[in-house]
Amino acid sequence: MICPHCERNLLLKERPGRVCSKCGRRYALDPKTNSLRLSDARIKRLVEKLTDGGQLTISVNQLWAAAARTTQKAGKSIAGGIGCTVFGVPVAVALIAAGVSIGGAAVVLVVLGALLLVFVVGAVVSTVSDRRALNESTLSTFRTTLLTDWKQIYGSLPPGVIEHYTAPAVQQPEGAHVALLCHDKSIAAFLIANEIPQRYGVAVATEIQQLPDAVPVIVLHDASPAGCQLPLRTRAALPGRRVVDAGLPPRAVMNAKGAVAVRRPKPAPDLIGRLRDSGTLTEAELAWLAKGWTVLLIAVPPVRLIAAVVRAVERVGATTDPDRRRAEAVGFLTWPGESGR
């Protein structure tokens, strides 16, 4: 790896205890000793990209999602799947063919070939599934590393990165004409840090009971069973209030290239039933959610997320009914590269 201080290339033996043997300075992350294979230099590159060259402020959780996603893409899962297919399938087919041609006692070859083929298919399916699933358990380790080791070395988090607990979970500027509800505190902190409330007259809250009275409510949520239920719960809790579901909807991400999901325990059947009864999701979306898939808001590129929120606020705050109806019907959040819904 490259030392983040002296920029010299270091072999593993030349950096014991995360100390550069060339300049004698300590660094925070060694790609050989953390599950995301991160280095200080890679963190700095990610921050530069996610903050759009320093124009945005992001949360630690958003940085983790980007790091985990790029690590997942760079992993060896595809190579493993290809290897299983290239070498396993021909061997399995050869065993089966040999057993069939010889006959008699050679039936054992057929059985072995069939078992091998089943194993290969299972391995490839598992590989594809693993490539789509972020390891959510790495988040706590990543946060601890950044909040302890990184701060010890550099004195603070990388410029442009905030710890979401340091920002208020609720902000209601005077004269706010729209409210935004988001259960994810790191995303609420992200929006507040980028001055969305002040610039657009938006009250940002993380709980329904924190919402101000008499203003339209925009709901921002994960593509998950609980997330998709949040707009329904909000409408039930605020009868007569205009509530707009701004996403993230499952249909925007479940087949989108680059949208890497978290695999969680399957939701309760009655939750899927309530979502089906609402008529807001397709059967394909319901089937995807029922398998436990979730795409987190923190995984949406920050520039894209800010643009979607601004678009939602501007449309919902418009004065003409056609614009409002169009906003509610079309939605706002799609995955990069998607044309819309």
DSSP 8-state class, residue 224: S
d(CA 10, CA 32): 12
| All residues at 6 or more sequence positions from 245 whose CB lies less than 8 Å from its CB, including other chains | 219, 221, 231, 280, 328, 331
Q: Between vectors from CA 72 to CA 71 and to CA 76, what angle results, nearest 5°?
A: 100
- On whether both 312 and 173 belong to a single domain, the answer is yes
E runs forming strands in 197-306: 202-205, 217-220, 243-245, 261-263, 293-294
- The pLDDT value recorded for residue 35 is 82
- On whether both 198 and 129 belong to a single domain, the answer is no
Give the model's confidence band at 152: pLDDT under 50 very low, under 70 low, under 90 confident, else very high: very high
Say how many C-beta atoms besides its own lie within 10 A of residue 326's C-beta: 12
Q: Does residue 335 fall inside a structural domain?
A: no
| All residues at 6 or more sequence positions from 316 whose CB lies less than 8 Å from its CB, including other chains | 178, 216, 218, 242, 244, 324, 327
Q: Does residue 275 fall inside a structural domain?
A: yes
Give the residue numbers spanning the domain of 88: 77-134
Q: Does residue 340 fall inside a structural domain?
A: no
Q: Does residue 151 fall inside a structural domain?
A: yes
- On whether both 208 and 240 belong to a single domain, the answer is yes
Backbone angles phi, psi at 339, to 5 degrees: -85, -10
- On whether both 196 and 55 belong to a single domain, the answer is no
Q: Does residue 190 fall inside a structural domain?
A: yes
User: Please, are residues 305 and 180 in contact by the beta-carbon 8 Å criterion?
Assistant: no
178-182 and 58-59 as β-strands: parallel, antiparallel, unpaired? unpaired
Tens digits of per-residue pLDDT, 39-75? 999 999 999 999 999 999 999 999 999 998 877 655 4
d(CA 224, CA 292): 8
- The pLDDT value recorded for residue 101 is 59
- The pLDDT value recorded for residue 249 is 92
- On whether both 52 and 187 belong to a single domain, the answer is no
- On whether both 174 and 289 belong to a single domain, the answer is yes
How many structural domains comprise the chain?
4
For residue 234, give both structure tokens.
């909000």
d(CA 259, CA 264): 16
Tens digits of per-residue pLDDT, 5-18? 999 998 988 999 99
Global pTM reads 0.76
Q: List helix spans (H) across 84-173.
A: 89-102, 107-132, 138-144, 151-154
- Give the pLDDT mean for 161-167: 79
- On whether both 277 and 185 belong to a single domain, the answer is yes
